[in-house]
Structure 1
Amino acid sequence: MKPFSVHCASPFLVASFPQPHSVLSWSLTRPGFAKVSSVAWLYVRDDDLSMDVDPALLLRKSMESAGLTDAVHLMTSRDITKYHLSQVSFGRATATCLATVGLGNAVRVGSAPIAHQGVGTINLLVHVDRPLSQAALVETISIVAQARTVAMVDLPWKPSGEAVTGTGTDCIVVAAPIHPDMEQFAGLHTDIGAAVGRAVYDAVWSSGNVWIAEQERTEVRSTCGLASPD
């Protein structure tokens, strides 16, 4: 059973839950804990985010105009039609990851901040089919970050000669159904942690390789003097 429906109509990618869910994220416009029925991506081009544009304001106004005010909002320069879904079950838990992955903004954790390094980011919605306490939501988001990082290290994308661990503008949303009987733990030794880790790794790995292949094709076309695709 799909935990959410996915609707893609540029510039929006929307994941809708059948009923309100508990979520935790660091969304630009709705960070922290919330109860929502949808998570929405806005696709933007680099030109849309000039130095005089407030990204949060642009995101908020765009979502309002589309009737998505109450959603958790994400922003990406990645072609939203290239989203990836991965679902994994362990024991009593099933995790589903909806990912958009662009690596043009990839960095290695602990590196000096860079003011602007192109566009491209990793946005992840991770759904767990078990109700989660706030503590378990926090633990789950840490597992998501671990899995994303391991996938990034394993990817053959090392623009500076060493592994990168994410992008400068990553965002993670974790969602779970609402019920009084909540799971209190979601670590690596639990079914939840195992399912989340594998689903996220698979989604980031697969999407990352698609993005890398696109860059390699663009480079070949450029070398041959052909027009590059969007």
Structure 2
Amino acid sequence: MLHLSPPWFSLDLGQDMPVLSWAPHNGGLTRARRILWREVRNADLTETLDVTDWLRRELGAINASDAVCFLTSRKLSAAITREHTEGGVTAKAVVTAGLSNAERIGTRLPQTWKDWGTINIALTLSAPLTPPARIEALSLVAEARTTAVIDTGVTLPTGTATGTGTDCIAVAAPEGEIAYAGKHTDAGHAIGRAVYDATLTAVQDWLRDSARW
């Protein structure tokens, strides 16, 4: 279930489950009931601010310290959700996207300002996964995101953009015995379709809203 209450956006997983991410709050492998987005502006995050501590205190103020949480400068109302079911396995992707911080993998543009434009992706999967399959699922989310960004054709001085410098992914799925989540599996196909469709739409929406490109 999704709930928008700016500056917060919440995805309720329905129950505590393993969540694998590199989110700025509760990253790594943890158990959580919710994945949150906190909307920010560049002016909110000064050079001297301890962002990790600030976000921890913000979450504490709304009794959400146990949640996994992203940061985004994209307006939360622009979040895109796509769902795909394959062979009885359902993947749901929720994406916010902004490319003001865009980069091409293996290159780096000079950064003259602090910008929190980013792509944040939360994926929920109905399939019960082993730990290795969970890692494989996260890798497919990253691949689908990158493919979608490339297909939008955003061009930088360093080449075609493949993402941003601060992209973040979280994958939530029950614990279980499904050992593989690659492209040849129902889980992998569902992941790829849901994430690609959501990311492509979210980036295209941002491009329409932005005068940068």
Bin for the TM-score computed over the shorter chain: over 0.9
Cα deviation code 1:43-87 (max 9, x no counterpart): 001101111112211211111111110100111111011100000
The aligned amino acid for 1:76 is T
Provide the residue aligned with 2:71 in structure 1: 75
Deviation (angstroms), 1:114:
4.2
CA offsets 1:125-176 (integer angstroms, 9 cap, x no match): 0011011111111000000000000001001321337211111111100001
> Take 1:18 and 1:189, find their aligned partners in 2: how far apart are those partners?
28
The residue that corresponds to 1:95 in the other structure is 91
Equivalent residue number for residue 127 of structure 2: 130
Q: Specify the SS of the correspondent of 1:177.
A: coil
CA 1:119 to 1:34, structure 2 compared with 1: closer, same or farther past 3 Å? closer
Q: Secondary structure at the match of 1:183?
A: coil
In the alignment, which of 136, 139, 147 is matched to residue 139 of structure 1?
136
Residue correspondence of structure 1 range 99-114 to structure 2 within 5 A? 99-112=95-108, 114=110
Q: Is the Cα–Cα contact under 8 Å of residues 130 and 182 in structure 1 kept in the other structure?
A: no
> Match of 1:223?
none
- Among 39, 42, 61, the alignment partner of 1:43 is 39
TM-score by length of 2: 0.94
RMSD, aligned α-carbons: 1.6
The yes-or-no answer on 1:190 pairing with 2:178 is no
CA distance in 1, matches of 2:102, 2:108: 13
* Structure 2 residue identity aligned to 1:81: S
Are the counterparts in 2 of residues 157 and 212 from structure 1 also a CA contact under 8 Å? no
5+ unaligned residues in a row in structure 2: which ranges?
none
Amino acid across the alignment from 1:158: T
Contact persistence 2:149–2:163 (CA under 8 A): yes
Please give the TM-score of this superposition, normalised by the length of structure 1. 0.88
SS at match of 1:51: coil
Distance 1:156 1:24 in 2: 29
> Is residue 20–residue 35 contact of structure 1 (8 Å, CA) maintained in 2?
yes
SS in 2 for 1:149: helix
Q: CA deviation at 1:88?
A: 0.6
d(CA) in 1 for partners of 2:114 and 2:33? Answer: 34
Q: Distance in 2 between matches of 1:40 and 1:47?
A: 21
Of 142-151 and 117-126, deviating more is 117-126
Q: Which moved more, 1:154-163 or 1:73-82?
A: 154-163
Aligned residues: 212
Matched, 1:162 2:146: no
Aligned partner (choices 112, 120, 140) of residue 117 of structure 2: 120
1:59 is aligned to 55
